[in-house]
Amino acid sequence: MLFHNQTIDFTMLATNENRLVEILLQCQPGQPRTRGTWEVDHQGTPFILPSIGGITLNLQVGDPAFGWEGDHIEPGVSCTADTHKPFEHPNVTVQMLSCVGNTATIVSGEAKGESGVVIGHHGGSEHIIVDFPREVKEKMAYGDTIMVRSKGQGLKLTDFPDVSLFNLDPALLAKMKINIAEDGVLEVPVTTLVPAYCMGSGIGSAHVAKGDYDIVTSDPGAVEEFGLDRIRFGDFVALLDQDNRYGRAYRKGAVTIGVVVHSDCREAGHGPGVTTIMTCATRGIRPVIDPKANIADLLGIGTRL
């Protein structure tokens, strides 16, 4: 296992940032949602607990993704353009064009003028998740208007055509401490290596420009072996043998880098959700372990190590 060397002099990666389109997207906090009845965990035990959506006051990026009395909890503020039509325009556009690291600004209500950071999107609920400080969330209401400054879809590493980028603000890319190794491989800091057999809900999706897919945590041995229960919201994680270029698929030797956007789950086939930001079908990405490979630590927000 490789570990991140803090003494590396990181070189700015060449990109097409100056050709990206910037668009303002409008959304609002989405109400908390439940199925209105019992749900059943992977052990057959029924439960009724908080789940997707809402202005979640006591969770933020950098907090543990495990240990909460909830299921699929989205930290921060879960945002939608239309809570009644999550799979239609304009919400689909908000999902597909919002990128991890984008700035989101509240433009109405008591918290007007405050800004947060998009940490990813969650499939099924069709929310984008925005991190705001608790004192800001305490002033928010579900009718508040939030404007996301979208920039990132279409981002490319011009010197690494085999590496595909999705859902990633170029300003965040510049802070990720990616190193070009002597063998020409990109060394990307992550907190966790996730084997392909631990990937579950979301596999088979036609693309990764919206939604997420889950790290399955129903096997205690795998959770312990790979340290999955130490994952935090906002962690950069490496999904091994996962090719996300044209959907989510298994491919030996591929590596996908993603960001953890929701909590562990109790249902079979589910677990912490991951929004894809980088993928390579060849061996062009080498993950290196860095416990601080988290949006909170890179951007100075949320709960930091």
CB distance 95 to 128 below 8 Å? yes
- Domain boundary (107, 125, 150) is at 150
Please identify which residue in the block is written with the tokens 């999550």: 86
> Are 75 and 190 members of one domain?
no
> Are 57 and 168 members of one domain?
no
> Are 163 and 140 members of one domain?
no
What are the structure tokens assigned to 137, written together? 């969330």
> Are 271 and 191 members of one domain?
yes
Q: Mean per-residue pLDDT for 142-153?
A: 98
Please tell me the predicted confidence (pLDDT) of residue 3.
57
pLDDT tens digit sequence for 47-77: 999 999 999 999 999 999 999 999 999 999 9
> Are 209 and 112 members of one domain?
no
Does residue 115 belong to any structural domain of this protein? yes
Give just the sign of the alpha carbon dihedral 285, 299, 123, 269: positive
> Are 158 and 284 members of one domain?
yes
C-alpha pair distances (Å), 95 with each of 85, 196, 239: 13, 25, 22
The CATH number of whichever domain residue 221 belongs to comes to 2.102.30.10
Please tell me the predicted confidence (pLDDT) of residue 4.
53
The residue among 305, 67, 288 whose CA lies nearest residue 178 is 288
Does residue 85 belong to any structural domain of this protein? yes
DSSP for 184-207, please give it.
S-EEEEESEEE-GGGB-TTTT-S-
pLDDT tens digit sequence for 255-304: 999 999 999 999 999 999 999 999 999 999 999 999 999 999 999 999 99
Please tell me the predicted confidence (pLDDT) of residue 50.
96
What are the structure tokens assigned to 301, written together? 């927000």
Does residue 191 belong to any structural domain of this protein? yes
pLDDT(1) > 60: no
Q: Mean per-residue pLDDT for 213-240?
A: 98
Does residue 304 belong to any structural domain of this protein? no
Beta strands in 107-215 (DSSP E): 115-122, 127-131, 146-150, 163-165, 179-180, 186-190, 192-194, 213-214
Total-model pTM: 0.96
Q: Mean per-residue pLDDT for 236-252?
A: 97
pLDDT tens digit sequence for 159-198: 999 999 999 999 999 999 999 999 999 999 999 999 999 9
Q: Mean per-residue pLDDT for 207-214?
A: 96
Q: Please name the helix (run of DSSP H) or strand (run of DSSP E) that holds residue 260, with its range, or none.
A: strand 249-262
State the total domains in the chain: 2
Please tell me the predicted confidence (pLDDT) of residue 2.
56
How many C-beta neighbours within 10 Å does residue 206 have?
Answer: 8
Please tell me the predicted confidence (pLDDT) of residue 6.
42
The residue among 289, 272, 283, 278 whose CA lies nearest residue 198 is 272
Please tell me the predicted confidence (pLDDT) of residue 11.
59
CA 246 – CA 283 distance, rounded (Å): 17
Letter for the amino acid at 80?
A: T
> Are 62 and 129 members of one domain?
yes
- Domain boundary (129, 150, 171) is at 150
Does residue 11 belong to any structural domain of this protein? no
Using pLDDT thresholds of 50, 70 and 90, give the confidence band for residue 8.
very low
Q: Between 8 and 235, where is the model more confident?
A: 235
| Domain range enclosing 195 | 153-299
CA 208 – CA 187 distance, rounded (Å): 22
Q: Between 35 and 10, where is the model more confident?
A: 35
CA 151 – CA 100 distance, rounded (Å): 9
Q: Mean per-residue pLDDT for 216-234?
A: 98
Using pLDDT thresholds of 50, 70 and 90, give the confidence band for residue 12.
confident
What are the structure tokens assigned to 78, written together? 């879960």
Determine how β-strand 285-289 pairs with β-strand 273-280: unpaired
The residue among 304, 257, 253 whose CA lies nearest residue 277 is 257
